[in-house]
Structure 1
Amino acid sequence: MSTALLLTVTGLALLDSLNPATILGVALVLVLPNGHPVRAALAYVLGAYLTVLGLGAGFYLAADAAAGVLDGGLIWVRRIAFGLAALMLLRSALQRLRRTHRAQITLPAWFTPWTALPLGAVVTAADLPNAFPYAIAIERLVSSGITTPHGLLVLAGYAMIYCLPCLLLLVAGVAWGDHIRSRLTGLYNRFGQARDVPPSIPAALGLGALAVAAAGIAITN
């Protein structure tokens, strides 16, 4: 397992970890009154971790099997991974061309520390269609030719890095209590409330350029 591969996967995981839905979910759990906010937040993060690891492991095993069985399978894995990343980026670019309404992020009435884990899993799974770095990371693992156990171990690390901002937020909430909660309330009021997001041509162009680059890699390999 090369250092370059680990650095590449780590960088992709750090990019993927900037996930507002999961991060704001943890912030909301810590801000809103409930009997066991730390335990609920930890269960929520665990649900996110298991989802990222489980789905990623499934895709990795399927891609690895396809690369070993199909004629030219590795090339097709690369094409599919970068083609999928290109579609995700293009979808995001098109969304930034129009005004969109984002609903308020709230906790369901059935939320408890016992249901926090499945809620974290559902929220994370719903946002995975935007996780284009994960598709590229899995392709890199398959292309590297590392053993399946090592690949799964790297994916476990990827999922941990994905959850890192949430874990840091949770640690800060435990360490600094009310001070952090007041900051989180401001964060939630800014990003968690219902709001209209205006179109952004520069953002759309940037995402479109990344989509073209990913599509170019998919076509030329």
Structure 2
Amino acid sequence: MTWELGGTLLGLAALDSLNPATIVAIILILLGSRRHPIGEALGFVFGAFASVFLVGLAVYFGAEAAAESITGALTWLRRGAFGLAALVLFLSAARSLRTRRRSAIELPDWFTPTTAAGLGIIMTGADLPNAFPYFIAIERLLTADVSSTTAVLVLVAYGVVYCLPCLVLLAVGLNHGERVVTALRRLFEQFGTEATLPPSPKRALTLFVLGLMVLAIAFTI
């Protein structure tokens, strides 16, 4: 495990942590919880961490087993990781070119700390196929040929970094009163309410160019 690899993985985890779905979920809990906002928020964060860690374990050890049993598998795993990342970016670019309807995010009546953890697992797990930094990070681990123990510890650290923005948001929201709550309400109204999203050629072009760059990496490794 080198400093260069550690810095790369930290950067990927930090990029992956800027996930609007999980951040908006924490904002919604802070604004709309009627019983246990702290417990529900922590339950959601724990579920998100569990999903990132457990899926990472499954992908890492499954890919490692394939690499050991199939000649040249590691090369194709690397290409697959970057190819999947490029595909996600291309699909996101295509979606940005059409009008989209965003559904509102609301807390159900049965929301408790326990069900919040389950929701964190489901929401994060459903979003992981779009998290291209996640698969690139696992690919970096595989190509670095680190020990299994090191890989597990790295995946734990990745999950912690992934959850940091939610934990920071929770701490700030609980400690700084109405001013922060007002700011969070504005943020939620921007990203968490029902809305019709117009086409964005600028966003589409940015995602498309980024996808081409990632695809080029896939074909040159």
User: TM-score, normalization: structure 1?
Assistant: 0.96
- Alignment correspondent of 1:89: 89
| Amino acid corresponding to residue 171 of structure 1 in structure 2 | A
C-alpha distance in 2, partners of 1:212/1:30? Answer: 39
Q: CA deviation at 1:182?
A: 2.3
SS of 1:105's equivalent? coil
- 1:39 maps onto 2:43 in alignment: no
Which digits, 9 at most, give the CA deviation of each residue in 1:44-67, with x for residues without a partner?
110001001111111111111222
C-alpha distance in 2, partners of 1:33/1:182? Answer: 15
What's the % identity of the aligned pairs? 47
- Alignment correspondent of 1:180: 180
C-alpha distance in 2, partners of 1:104/1:133? Answer: 27
- Alignment correspondent of 2:116: 116
Alignment of structure 1 residues 63-102 onto 2, 5 Å: 63-102=63-102
SS of 1:196's equivalent? strand
SS of 2:114's equivalent? coil
- Alignment correspondent of 1:19: 19
C-alpha distance in 2, partners of 1:50/1:151? Answer: 16
Which digits, 9 at most, give the CA deviation of each residue in 1:66-103, with x for residues without a partner?
22221012101101111111111111111111111111
C-alpha distance in 2, partners of 1:52/1:33? Answer: 25
- After superposing on structure 2, the runs of 4+ consecutive aligned residues of structure 1 that deviate more than 3 Å are none
Which digits, 9 at most, give the CA deviation of each residue in 1:115-140, with x for residues without a partner?
11001111111211210000111100
| Amino acid corresponding to residue 18 of structure 2 in structure 1 | L
Q: CA deviation at 1:10?
A: 0.6
Q: CA deviation at 1:109?
A: 2.6
Q: CA deviation at 1:208?
A: 0.9
User: TM-score, normalization: structure 2?
Assistant: 0.96
SS of 1:101's equivalent? strand
C-alpha distance in 2, partners of 1:4/1:186? Answer: 39
Gaps of 5+ in 2: none
Gaps of 5+ in 1: none
C-alpha distance in 1, partners of 2:114/2:59? Answer: 28
Please say which of residues 110-119 and 23-32 is displaced more in the overlay. 110-119
Q: CA deviation at 1:197?
A: 1.3
C-alpha distance in 1, partners of 2:110/2:154? Answer: 35
Which digits, 9 at most, give the CA deviation of each residue in 1:174-221, with x for residues without a partner?
322333222222211222111111111121111111212222222233
SS of 2:113's equivalent? coil
